[in-house]
Amino acid sequence: MSIRFFILTVVIIFGLQSKAQLPDPVSKIKVMFLYNFTKYIEWPKEYKQGDFIIGILGGGADALHKELEKLSMTKKAGIQNIVIKKYSSLAEVDKCHMLFIPESKSASLDDATATLKKNSTLIVTEKDGLAKKGSAINFVIKDNKQNFELNKGNIERYNLNVSSSLLSLAIQVN
Amino acid sequence: MRKNITHIALLLLLFLGNALAQPCVKVGDAIQLFTKDLEKAKKGIEDAALDPACSSDPATWYYKAFILKDYYKNKEKTIKNASSRIAAIEAAKKNLQLDPQNRYAEECKKILNFLAQTFYNDASKDLNEKKYPSAYDNYVRYLDIIKYGQPDKLDTSAIFYAGYAASMANNYLKAKEYLKKAVELKYQEPNLYYYLGKVYWSIGEKDKSYEVLNLGHALYPENKDVILAMVQYYSEDGKLKVLESTLDKAIQLDSKSPDLKLTQAVVCEKLSETEKGQEEKYFKKSESLYKEVIKSDANNSRANYNLAILYYNKAVNIIDKLDADSDLITIDKIQDQCVLIFKLSLPYMTKAYQLNPNKKDVLEGLAGIYFALNDIPKSNEFKQKAESMK
């Protein structure tokens, strides 16, 4: 009598699966841009002491927040430690070097420019047209890539100086 | 007719027995009843075996074995664990024990061989009906009986099948015992190595499992099951380097198997993440394997999905490893490079989506690729579809 064997192997070997990586590549690129801005923009003397504050307005932008936190653990802005803060409202913003307004909070830009007009805060946004409406730097998408618009007037209004190198790499907006 | 022949044989033996020694009266009565009434013959010989006047005579046990064997053949053949079969075996064994001159030994051995064969046949039938515990029991009984019937014979085939049946019944300790013995006896069957490897693996003796499977592979390099078991265990064990070389061999044996190529592609993808200095080599190998599968079957959804993920992960890794001190020009160049890679990924994930429009992984994959390409409306569209899958 012939015996039939029952082999189970092939069914099981594919426990191995391809998985998409978790890091958010867009947030990582934006954070690299933000860190570069700390090098190409000069803050007034009174902002060169203490911590270098990078704020995020409102909830959301979790991936960007996470990337910023990672950055703050290894890098400094000049000699200043980088500290990341999340603000639920503009009223909480005090001495902040850079304020990132996520797209979902873009409607707050007018309030932000009014509230921070006496501060030296670099306002960074990520919605089309906002560089013309008060933000200093606005992330835009060009050829599937992250790029940034820069409004020199809006930077200088906050007593900040921008290097010519950054100007040459930016999409300049008046 | 057959009955008559048996009867003649029995009477002949009785005559032969007479020539040697006279069996006791009760045994003689039972023999006389044999052709007339098998039930009464059985009862008679059983009574005789209990009678002190007969029980010490080896002939009594021989005739008991003979009559009960015939009773089993005619009346209880279809009964599982038939008592007549067991009693016939015990009687034949008793004769061999009591009969120092071996007067009935050859006949008793024939009876034992016949009954052993019935257990073997039952075992084979059980095995094919997937009644593994019963198959195991029957093989073990066969092996136990045959050693009286044929003391010089070692039935390696039955030893292997006993181990096989035990392994299929998840009786791993017994399976190990019998399969190991079959290996020691050099039983020629590639599945022997597959099953012993499986048993060792199941009881946590991983090194032994690899040792046996490698031995099996060395003896039977063309056997797929042995090598696939190695692939499975190396995979479960996370031994990617040896898994890769084993998969290469498996693919040589079965070059048309998309599953093996896909597994190897995933292994190479993982090695590209862990083997320093060989990232590109493993990436290329993985990419090439996925493309081979897609070339032979454009609608292989897993190959399309995995290749898309391979590209996506490559680009994400480049960005993730980007040093924070990189200047803006470098960041721009990296973005250019990664956009190209994300664009390589997109058609394969789109194809996977066409093949599986409701698969959450695929929808999330598309959302991720469009997001990485900064096409946020498209990304949100697929993200929402993926969320609706919850």
Rounded distance between C-alpha atoms, residue B342 and residue A77, angstroms: 32
Whether residue A65 is contained in a domain is answered as yes
Of A9, A25, A26, the CB nearest to B229: A9
Chain B touched by A11 (CB under 8 Å): no
Which residues of chain A have a CB within 8 Å of the CB of B309? 18-20
Of B168, B236, B320, the CB nearest to A23: B320
Mean pLDDT of B354-363: 94
The CATH code of domain B298-390 reads 1.25.40
Q: Do B222-296 and B298-390 share a fold?
A: yes
Rounded distance between C-alpha atoms, residue B35 and residue B253, angstroms: 62
**Closest chain B residue to the Cα of A4, Cα to Cα:** B128
Between B5 and A80, the more confident residue is: A80
**Closest chain B residue to the Cα of A139, Cα to Cα:** B374
CB contact under 8 A, A25 and B365: no
Question: Which pLDDT band, with edges at 50, 70 and 90, does B7 fall under?
Answer: low
- In this structure, is the dihedral angle defined by the CA atoms of residues A90, A96, A97 and A98, taken in order, positive or negative? negative
CB A30 within 8 A of CB A146: yes
Model confidence over B180-196: pLDDT tens digits? Answer: 999 999 999 999 999 99
Best A13, A17, A139, A166 residue to mutate vs chain B (most B CBs within 10 Å): A13
Amino acid at B32: Q
CB contact under 8 A, A36 and B365: no
| Cα angle for residues B354, B360, B363 (degrees, 5° grid) | 50
This prediction has a pTM of 0.75
**Closest chain A residue to the Cα of B197, Cα to Cα:** A9
Which residues of chain B have a CB within 8 Å of the CB of A166? 328
CB A121 within 8 A of CB A142: no
**Closest chain B residue to the Cα of A77, Cα to Cα:** B325
In this prediction the ipTM stands at: 0.88
Rounded distance between C-alpha atoms, residue B31 and residue B37, angstroms: 10
Q: Across all residues in chain B, what is the average pLDDT?
A: 91
pLDDT over 50 at B138, yes or no? yes
pLDDT in the model for residue B9: 56
Question: Which pLDDT band, with edges at 50, 70 and 90, does B1 fall under?
Answer: very low
**Closest chain B residue to the Cα of A144, Cα to Cα:** B373
Number of other residues whose CB lies within 10 A of the CB of residue B173: 9
Helix residue ranges per DSSP H, B56-189? 58-71, 83-98, 105-128, 132-149, 156-168, 172-184
Domain ranges of chain B: 1-129, 154-220, 222-296, 298-390
CB contact under 8 A, B316 and A23: yes
Choose which CATH entry (3.40.630.10, 3.40.50.970, 1.25.40.10, 1.10.3720.10) describes domain B154-220. Answer: 1.25.40.10
pLDDT in the model for residue B18: 46
CB A49 within 8 A of CB A19: no
From the list B248, B337, B237, the residue with the least C-alpha distance to B285 is B248
Helix residue ranges per DSSP H, chain A? 9-12, 25-40, 62-74, 109-115, 152-156, 164-169
CB contact under 8 A, B228 and A9: yes
pLDDT over 90 at B379, yes or no? yes
Of B128, B232, B331, the CB nearest to A29: B331
Rounded distance between C-alpha atoms, residue B61 and residue B99, angstroms: 10
% pLDDT > 90, chain B:
74
Helix residue ranges per DSSP H, A99-146? 109-115
pLDDT in the model for residue A14: 44
In chain A, the number of structural domains is 1
pLDDT over 80 at B380, yes or no? yes
Residues of chain B numbered 10-39 and touching chain A (CB < 8 Å)? none
Chain A touched by B373 (CB under 8 Å): yes
pLDDT in the model for residue A123: 97
Task: State which residues form the domain around A43.
Answer: 23-172
Question: Which pLDDT band, with edges at 50, 70 and 90, does B21 fall under?
Answer: low
Chain A touched by B378 (CB under 8 Å): no
pLDDT in the model for residue B145: 95
Q: Which fold has domain B222-296?
A: 1.25.40
CB contact under 8 A, B259 and A14: yes
| Cα angle for residues B320, B324, B327 (degrees, 5° grid) | 115
Question: Is residue B245 classed exposed, middle or buried when 0-12, 13-18 and 19+ CB atoms within 10 A define those classes?
Answer: exposed
**Closest chain B residue to the Cα of A167, Cα to Cα:** B328
Rounded distance between C-alpha atoms, residue A100 and residue A85, angstroms: 10
Return the DSSP state at A99.
E
CB contact under 8 A, A17 and B305: no
Chain A touched by B126 (CB under 8 Å): no
DSSP string, A55-71: EEESS--HHHHHHHHHH
Chain A touched by B203 (CB under 8 Å): no
- In this structure, is the dihedral angle defined by the CA atoms of residues B17, B22, B23 and B25, taken in order, positive or negative? positive
Whether residue A89 is contained in a domain is answered as yes
CB contact under 8 A, B270 and A16: yes
Best B254, B319, B333 residue to mutate vs chain A (most A CBs within 10 Å): B319
pLDDT over 70 at B276, yes or no? yes
Whether residue A11 is contained in a domain is answered as no
Model confidence over B146-191: pLDDT tens digits? Answer: 998 888 888 999 999 999 999 999 999 999 999 999 999 999 999 9
CB contact under 8 A, B263 and A32: no
Residues of chain B numbered 319-348 and touching chain A (CB < 8 Å)? 319-320, 322, 324-329, 331-332, 335-336, 338-339, 342-343
Chain A touched by B212 (CB under 8 Å): no
Rounded distance between C-alpha atoms, residue A95 and residue B200, angstroms: 67
Mean pLDDT of B81-91: 94
Rounded distance between C-alpha atoms, residue A174 and residue B18, angstroms: 129
Question: The tokens 């040459």 sit on which residue?
Answer: A168
CB A42 within 8 A of CB A120: no
The β-bridge partners of A141 are: A146
Of B128, B312, B339, the CB nearest to A144: B339
CATH at A141: 3.40.50.2300
CB contact under 8 A, A1 and B372: no
Question: Which pLDDT band, with edges at 50, 70 and 90, does B36 fall under?
Answer: confident
CB contact under 8 A, A20 and B191: no
Which residues of chain B have a CB within 8 Å of the CB of A143? 339
pLDDT in the model for residue B81: 85
CB B233 within 8 A of CB B205: no
Number of other residues whose CB lies within 10 A of the CB of residue B279: 15
CB contact under 8 A, B313 and A20: yes
Q: What is the mean pLDDT of each run of 10 residues along chain A (174 residues)?
A: 50 50 83 96 95 91 91 95 95 94 95 93 96 95 95 94 94 92
Choose which CATH entry (1.10.730, 1.25.40, 2.60.40, 1.10.287) describes domain B1-129. Answer: 1.25.40
For B312, residues 6+ apart whose C-beta sits below 8 A from its C-beta are A20, A21, B341, B342, B345, B349, B365, B368, B369, B372
pLDDT over 90 at B15, yes or no? no
Of B364, B368, B374, the CB nearest to A141: B374
